[in-house]
Chain A
């Protein structure tokens, strides 16, 4: 009887002890986690107050995982330490902190990238720039292909658009010249950026949707046609009236006069101002980066945002300069060529 009672008493104690053990375990792990959280929070507060040394000490107290530590918190704490030391120009200390992470998690990308960045910083400046150039230039050149496409397209199309609008402006038919005046007024009087936005983001609301490239072609083509129209009109009207009279006296129609006598004489006069516009065009193509077009500017912007690396901006500037230099040279040659009949 007693034995049975004592047996029952033992099992009762066991029933009582088991939950107690669980509670104890839960409390312990909870306390450890709470400790890490507290440390991180305190560390952040210290950083906010500018106490970097204090923050570093707090972050270093976060235990490694396994000994009651949690992996996310551990990685975060050590990387914070690495950044604090990096900010204080302690490259070796920063690398040591990142390596602590790698000791536990050899594949951690954040720590790997950080160490690679620190190693790059140990290089002399010129080697760093050279390395950046080698790293970013291919992407930039790839982006500049799209810039070149945009430039060449607009250069090919806008002179014809401009000529049409210019002839319309000169035309004695009031409705036509009024319409052409309106087009020039509209496209010269509003920012190209706004025109691109309207075509790409605005027109879909009216039921017309364009691909980014089509929208860019449309915006640049119309804008530059309007600009060139006024230049072309000026050039046409600058040709001496005697030329028109001589053509008329031969029996030419107004259109023959335009095509054979007046327009060919404008070419040379057009090259300097049109060349000027085209140089502006090369730089204006950067605006289409805002309507989801990936070209030189957009590529540079993306790289800059990913790496916070100023070299990429300098490189983009150099590529733009190469473009403008080459085109300036080409325009000078063309002007020289076209002026052949003016040399004595």
Chain B
């Protein structure tokens, strides 16, 4: 067995006085699926965003494929690494946002092509081929010429997933991917993520959906006030024997 894809050690993130992430450690093996749950403002999204350096950490260490990543020592202080290297790291880490953040001025195909074309510098024809394959994977090949504004929320999120997949990421980060969706559209997005899980994609998913967490996760983590209150395989996590009443009431509310 090879080492972990990503390894977080003792991560600290502050917003002013507020401690958003409080000395948290986490590591993912290839193909592992971690689902983070917890109340709003518990630091789940912030933690997720430190993993692709959208948030600059105030303490701790991030290793990507065994190597220290994203920060360098300069003048006795740890500072973010050069832009170019951070961009290179990000290109290997896919991210899906709650608000989709599709590029509205590009067609569906254009959105999915954009990464390979601009970031990886692939020829147009090759980028288009990749993009079409990814759209087929999320079941939206027939929408390739449409603009995002014409799509439903669920379709938008599936395009966003295809856009991230087109970069052949080593790990996918999902930041509440269904929270902005109408309830009847949640299913199609989860189906897509489930499909990815079966294909062996390494994933970190932040969600409020307990049913999905139980179904797809190898490890479920409950986070509150910037800390991991509990973590474990879904079977143990959801077993009625969860000793912490705080977690139990949260789960009951969410289910």
Contact = CB atoms under 8 A, between A and B. Distances in A.
A254 B160 CA distance: 20
Contact of B54 (A245, A254, A261): A245
A253 B101 CA distance: 17
B105 A251 contact: no
B225 interface: no
A96 to B, nearest CB: 77
B83 A246 contact: no
B231 to A, nearest CB: 25
Given A249-B52, A249-B95, A256 B103 contact: no
Contacts of B84: 253
A104 B220 CA distance: 117
Contacts of B83: 253-254
B115 A250 contact: yes
B40 interface: no
Interface in A96-140: none
A242 B119 contact: no
Interface residues on B, range: 20 to 34
Given A250-B114, A256-B118, A243 B91 contact: no
A20 B99 CA distance: 118
B90 interface: yes
B90 A250 contact: yes
B167 A251 contact: yes
Interface in A245-287: 245-254, 256, 260-261, 264-265
A120 to B, nearest CB: 60
Nearest to B83: A253
Nearest to B53: A248
A220 B132 CA distance: 48
B88 A342 contact: no
B104 A342 contact: yes
A143 to B, nearest CB: 41
A248 B106 CA distance: 17
Contacts of B190: none
A343 interface: yes
A329 interface: no
A22 interface: no
A224 B210 CA distance: 57
Given A243-B101, A249-B90, A260 B114 contact: yes
B101 A245 contact: yes
Contact of A242 (B92, B97, B149, B163): B97
Contacts of A254: 83
Given A251-B88, A254-B83, A344 B150 contact: yes
B185 to A, nearest CB: 17
26 contacts: A242-B101, A243-B101, A245-B54, A245-B101, A246-B101, A249-B52, A249-B54, A249-B90, A250-B115, A250-B163, A251-B87, A251-B88, A251-B89, A251-B92, A251-B119, A251-B167, A253-B83, A253-B84, A254-B83, A256-B119, A261-B103, A340-B147, A341-B104, A341-B105, A341-B106, A342-B147
Interface of B: 52, 54, 83-84, 87-95, 97, 99, 101-107, 114-115, 118-119, 147-150, 160, 163-164, 167
